Structure 1
Amino acid sequence: MTGGSSLRLYNRLKIMSAISSAYENWSKEDLIARLRQLDQLQTHRRPPHEHPIKRHTEPFDFAAHPKRKIALKFCYHGQHFSGMEFQMTPTQLPTVEGVLFSALAYARLVDPHGGLEGCGWERCGRTDRGVSAAQQVVSLWVRSAIGDKELPSEDKAQLEEVSSSSSLEPSKNEDGLGLVGDLDFVGDWDEPPTNSGRRTPPKEPSELRYVALLNNILPPTIRIIAWSPVSPNFSARFNCQHRHYKYFFTSDGLDIEAMQDAASRLVGEHDFRNMCKMDPRKQLTHFVRKVKRATISPISNGLAPTTNMYVFDLIGSAFLYNQVRHIMALLFLVGAHLEQPSIINALMNTDPNSPLSPFRPDESAPSLVLTKPDYQMADPLPLVLWDSAYEDSLLNWQVEPDEQLSESSTSESKPGLSSRDLSAKLYDIMHSLYTRSLIQTTLDAHFLSVVSQYHTPSPRYLPLGAPGTQPIPSGGTFGYPLGGASYKRGSKYVPVLERPRMASAEEVNERWRLGRGRKQWERRLEKRAAYEARSGTSTPGDEATPSPSADVDE
């Protein structure tokens, strides 16, 4: 220890000893008063390492701020979440809507006490646990810096007369936004003075930086891509023209040509009750959906880490619960030569009064399948809600323009960042995630090469009867793909049409109405009656059984 350090330590001990000796002579009341004084000082003291961010402790009056309806476009990795839809009961992983709404509430863009209903929340489509999205869309009302206020007509007339080349700066209100109605009269113009002054042109108010603001709060697994102002009656769900899903897979053990044959049979309007999961809470009775496109193609644009990567593209106006994963499971069975492509036509042949004709002249009429056979759907990991299509006139996707970002002085985002900087920041984050995945893929490939020096792969059985494959030995086990590197293993394969049939939609709906649905409805009526008894008022609502809800997407 140096001489200087020793001297400082000696002085500190001497001071502490003096303070301790002084406290020994204090009365009990004086000691209590001193402790309270120290507690008060500690409460108002900020730790030196803590960033001076304004804490959300004081009440925030959302009614005092303008609002506007916007749409948000964002992407997320589904394996990190328990699905898109917010759940009232605890989930093993957070939901996408739960995380996104929490970020909106933390940024004071929505009132947390109002919940999703309070801000008019609507989603384009629901994705199940493990399913990702590249361009998911939600619409909602949020706090705004400008709202939907328009310039008064008399101000518009005067502004048209003002020269756009004027170098005068407009006056601003307390927030520095230069809103209309706070414009001062000036007379220092490059023309002879008159008795009447002119108002300066207002500076265009800056909207909040929704993209940057939310991305600074959200985890990297959820990224806001863009936002758009929308009309008050816009609905992210009902204004969507079609949804586009992608399912990624490798061609190992699969006949891609046979899979494409089966996929082409999906195009058009069909009854897909045998290719979805029944959700009795929705009380669905209509299962006809329109598929606009169903294709399988190789990924050859340099984005695939291997040369045998393929993607199944499915585009339709709407989809039933888990419909895409059920379709993909059937395509895997066809690709493994465990089923014929005509299995698709059979499962869509559900109406005995209007049976389907043979898909091709050389095929027989498909079997009539009134209820769904028991088969396992595909893995959720490779499924992505790729796009959500809307009319161009309804949306104007944007990332905050340069002029808005450079002039904004709001505290919600970092000052001095241009839109180009923010755009590059978002791109760099996504590129970093992509690079890490490539590195992980490269490591796994090297590990596989090392293991292959000491161990041999299993015999190749699929596609059945294809060149280079072996017949399945009697009593042996094999596995057919379910996507996402998962397999269904067994010693014997039972064709789908020979498997046990599940209950019909009518039976499932009736069972739920008489069971759990009835109990839920009775509890709802009890709560309503208790509320009316306390308040002395009645609440509107249907006193009958629960009404059917609209369908949800994958």
Structure 2
Amino acid sequence: MKVAFKLGYLGGGYHGFQLQPEVLTVQSVVREALRGLALNDGSFCYAGRTDRGVNALGQVIDFFIDPGKADLAIPRVVNSRLPPDVWAWAWAKVPENFSARHAALWREYRYILPKDGLDLDLMRGAACELLGVHDFRNLSSEKSRPTTRDLMKLEISEKNSSIILDVRADGFLWNMVRKIVTVLEVAGSGERDLDWVRELLDTGINQGVKAAPAEGLILMDVGYQGVEWTCEPYSMRMAQERMSKFWRREMALAEATGVLARAMFV
């Protein structure tokens, strides 16, 4: 029997998602939770790697279990073995040939950045240039795989003093989202124009941009065909309470940092 989970996590306390020797990763704590419940040997497939500092709401994993232990393969039970900054909140029975990675039709990320005088119209103009099927070699850190992707969605909105970027594609290259964010930020500042954005999509011109910081990035969702998710309200409520505590702490830290920064102006 194979099941799939939707995972959320705060990435700040981990060295990325993927298992690495002698450091704490999201995969390592999930592996230990599955082992601790004797659901399997801790092995599972995941939809995508996220770098250190990247957060998630809709990471997907799948794993085999003994049908006799199906009552343990639910979010609230697995969450009892996970740290408070990693949680499962939905599950589904999936076919034995299902792969969280290879069955994915699309992945969607959100990036949050300070507005800081950026022009949303300029950013949306740059976003239009990036939409569709392009070779994103200059907007990734990929060194070997093919770099053509279909950027299906790139929406820009404003909330309070932040800009929200929602990005969906059939697949993402290493650092692709964070480099797209940099392009939109540079365009939104008026520093570079649309000709520069078009040049970045020209693989005959070897150039690139720096990746935006990882902390603003969230893996929001992964799309599949025919998977019927069961959301678990208890796990969602517990996660909300935990996140509220983290949020209040981070808001206090942000305000204190602002006080210190403003005090340096003379």
Aligned position for 2:30: 100
CA separation of 1:320/1:440 partners in 2, compared to 1, >3 Å: closer, same or farther? closer
Query: Is 1:342–2:152 an aligned residue pair?
Result: no
Change (3 A) 1:332 1:144: same
Q: What secondary structure, in the 3-state scheme, does the structure 1 residue paired with 2:58 have?
A: strand
Report what 1:333 is aligned to. 186
* Superposition map of 1:390-469 within 5 A: 390-391=224-225, 393=226, 395-399=227-231, 423-424=233-234, 426-438=236-248, 440-442=250-252, 444-445=254-255, 448=258, 452=262, 455-456=264-265
Extract unaligned runs of 5+ from structure 2: none
Question: What is the rounded CA distance, in whole Å, between the counterparts of 1:76 and 1:428 in structure 2?
Answer: 13
Higher relative contact order, chain-length normalized (CA < 8 Å, sep 6+) = 2
Relative to structure 1, is the Cα distance of residues 336 and 100 closer, same or farther in structure 2, using a 3 angstrom cutoff? same
Partner of 1:175: none
1:69–1:425 CA distance, 2 compared to 1 (3 A)? closer
| Pairwise CA distance, 1:90 | 2.9
How far off its partner does 1:123 sit? 1.3
Shift of 1:252: 0.6
Q: Distance in 2 between matches of 1:213 and 1:289?
A: 38
Contact 2:14 2:53 in 1 (8 A): yes
For residues 384 and 219 of structure 1, the distance between their equivalents in structure 2, rounded to whole angstroms, comes to 19
| TM-score of the superposed pair, with normalisation by structure 1 | 0.45
What is the correspondence of 1:107-118 to structure 2 with a 5 Å cutoff?
Answer: 107-111=37-41, 116=43
Percent sequence identity over aligned pairs: 29
Determine the structure 2 residue equivalent to 1:381. Answer: 215
Q: What is the letter of the counterpart of residue 292 of structure 1?
A: M
Between the aligned partners of 2:252 and 2:10, the Cα distance in structure 1 is 21
Question: How far apart, CA to CA, are the structure 2 residues paired with 1:339 and 1:74?
Answer: 38
Distance 1:430 1:349 in 2: 44
Deviation per residue, 1:391-436 (Å, 9 max, x gap): 2x2x222257xxxxxxxxxxxxxxxxxxxxxx34641442243244
Moved over 4 A (4+): 449-452
The question of whether the paired residues in 2 share the 8 Å contact of 1:267 and 1:291 is answered with: yes
Q: Tell me by how many angstroms 1:209 deviates.
A: 4.9
Give 3-state SS (helix, strand or coil) of 2:88's partner.
strand
Compute the RMSD of aligned alpha carbons. Answer: 2.3
**What is aligned with 1:372?**
207
| 2:180 counterpart letter in structure 1 | I
Measure the CA separation in 2 of the matches of 1:319 and 1:287: 9
Could you tell me which runs of 5 or more consecutive residues in structure 1 were left unpaired when the two chains were aligned. Answer: 1-67, 148-206, 300-306, 351-367, 401-422, 458-554
Deviations 1:269-327 (A, max 9, x none): 00001110034xxx32x21100111121013xxxxxxx211111111110111111111
- Equivalent position to 1:85, from 8, 18, 26: 18
Q: Within the alignment, does 1:277 sit opposite 2:141 as a pair?
A: yes
TM score, norm. by length of structure 2: 0.91
- Structure number with greater Rg is 1
Match in the other structure for 1:323: 176
Native 8 Å contact 1:293 1:315 kept in 2: yes
Task: Give the whole-Å Cα distance in 2 for the aligned partners of 1:388 and 1:331.
Answer: 23
Give distance in 2, aligned partners of 1:274 and 1:251: 25
Which structure carries more strand by proportion? 2
Matched residue of 1:381: which SS? helix
1:69 alignment counterpart: 2
Q: Which residue of the other structure, out of 142, 151, 173, is the alignment partner of 1:291?
A: 151
8 Å Cα contact 1:73/1:227 also seen in 2: yes
Of residues 231, 234, 238, the one that matches 2:98 is 234
The reply on whether 1:129 has 2:80 as its aligned counterpart is: no
Query: What is the CA distance between 1:146 and its match in structure 2?
Result: 6.6
